[in-house]
A and B are shown apart, each in its own frame.
Chain A
Amino acid sequence: MGMNIQETIASPLVWHPQTAAEAWQLKQTYDIEAVYTSGGTLLRTQWESGISAMPQHLIDLSAIRGLNELRVGEAGLVVGGQTSLQSCRSNALLSRHFPMVTEAIRTIAAPSVRQLATIGGNVASSIGDSIAALLGYDAEVIWFDGTREHRALLSEWLHEASAAKRGNERLLLSVLLPFEESLGETPVSNGAEDLTSQMKRFGAYHKVGRREAFTPSVVTACINGVLTCSNVIKQIRIALGGGQTVPVRLEGLEKEISGADVDGQLLRHVYDRTIELFEPREDLFASAAYRKSTAANLIVSELWKAAKDNTKQL
């Protein structure tokens, strides 16, 4: 057996910029002939499946200084875009403070793919399975426009990326996860525990695929919130994605239910509104209707569980 077809017809030049400014300049110079390349794992999938051709230039981002580490910054945990998903998966700070991100990453591909794949590539693709969990923590991104760094909410960055005509061409540097109110123990996925004596924090991330493990997602769902001891919703974030759908926060629904009691009527409302507001992309394997009801069931059941656990502890 010889080389595969992409290797015989194309052999891109690979650039190794040392700074974000150099990387950005290379992209300006070679424009559509060049792609930013982190781990290259999603790009490889796209080249092999014929979704896109191998470009003439790869701009390898791995040598840019300071982007492959995870550190505590002033505003939260800063995850450099070049950090491999497997380093994120095994990072104690990340799993302690943002367990749903760790859980989301655990379900992405397999460890061997995650050695190459980066968090930056996952987010910049706009459809990575880490995104719903990051949205659940109100993550921000730091990106570079050729002159300076910008900080933006991930939800806005994604919104602009899907609106942009030529897709997302902004150079992503890092992901910023703001620490939640309590810096003590934060919730383990699917659990609930003390925020103050009056409040319970709860959260869960789910990925539904067509197999149990090592599978692309059909739906990703994240819920993160705070309940009072009488089951009034004090804070809530709901994020949904999966497959080729760019993940979104259901901010309209979040506003509607903030301050409300979790009871049967509210759960019905959450179900109906999730079906209305979530607009997943369908494919040959799963319809939009299936994805909507899967997402609605996941969110409602987690909210119900959190309220039930809360009542049990009284």
Chain B
Amino acid sequence: MSEEAVKSESPYVLRCFVNGKEELIDTKPAARLLTIVRDELSLTGTKRSCEIGRCGACMVLIEGKAVNSCLTMAYQCSEKQITTIEGIAVQGMDPVQQAFLEEGGFQCGYCTPGMIISVKALLDENPDPSDDEIAEALSGNICRCTGYGGIWRAVKRAAEGRRQTT
């Protein structure tokens, strides 16, 4: 080989920034981010459900984009900024969370952290989404309780709130 390819071995120290704080985590390079945030960092707001990218319960923000933490491997998070649901509310309740509360965007609440993360990513990128854009952005988040009516209203209200403050 012309240059030595870099190798991530086990044990492996992942350096990343979780909710704004630098973390050095002893793990395995192919360990899943879901396992790391819940079991290593005790950030259990990120939910575990299907574990194959199909439900959205485990959603986190990586560099501001919503990504399924059950599909993301440790090495893919190296040096990245990761925000979990716990990091959304550091300066008090986020307007997206407030909108979910006011519009009844949840029942059992299991899907809610993932929903909030996806809505946050959507509105940060596109403060005035069309109905089609909302549907596409939330297509990877499954809710078994609400029938989506309250969630839909919450997204609309959060978008409306953001338009009024900008």
Query: Which residues of A come within 8 Å of B, CB atoms?
Result: 1-4, 7, 10-19, 21-23, 25-26, 39-41, 44-45, 48-49, 54, 58, 60, 62-63, 86, 106, 109-113, 115-116, 213-214
Contacts and interface: CB of A to CB of B under 8 A. Distances in A.
Q: Which 5 A-B pairs have the closest CB atoms?
A: A110-B140, A14-B29, A11-B28, A17-B5, A14-B8
Contacts of B72: 116
Interface stretch (B59-67, B93-101, B155-163): B59-67
Interface stretch (B15-23, B30-38, B143-151): B30-38
A41 to B, nearest CB: 5
B48 A1 contact: yes
Contact of A14 (B53, B65, B75, B118): B75
Given A19-B2, A22-B2, A44-B52, A112 B140 contact: yes
A16 B72 CA distance: 16
A116 B71 CA distance: 8
Contacts of B51: 4, 48
A26 B39 contact: no
Interface stretch (B81-89, B103-111, B131-139): B131-139
Interface of B: 1-3, 5-10, 28-32, 35, 38-39, 48, 51-54, 56, 59, 62, 65-68, 70-73, 75-76, 118, 135-137, 139-141
Contacts of A12: 29-30
Given A40-B71, A111-B139, A16 B8 contact: yes
B3 A44 contact: no
A47 to B, nearest CB: 9
Contact of B75 (A3, A22, A60): A60
A109 B136 CA distance: 10
A25 B35 CA distance: 32
A10 B9 CA distance: 12
A49 B50 CA distance: 12
B30 A14 contact: yes
B51 to A, nearest CB: 6
Contacts of A110: 56, 136, 139-141
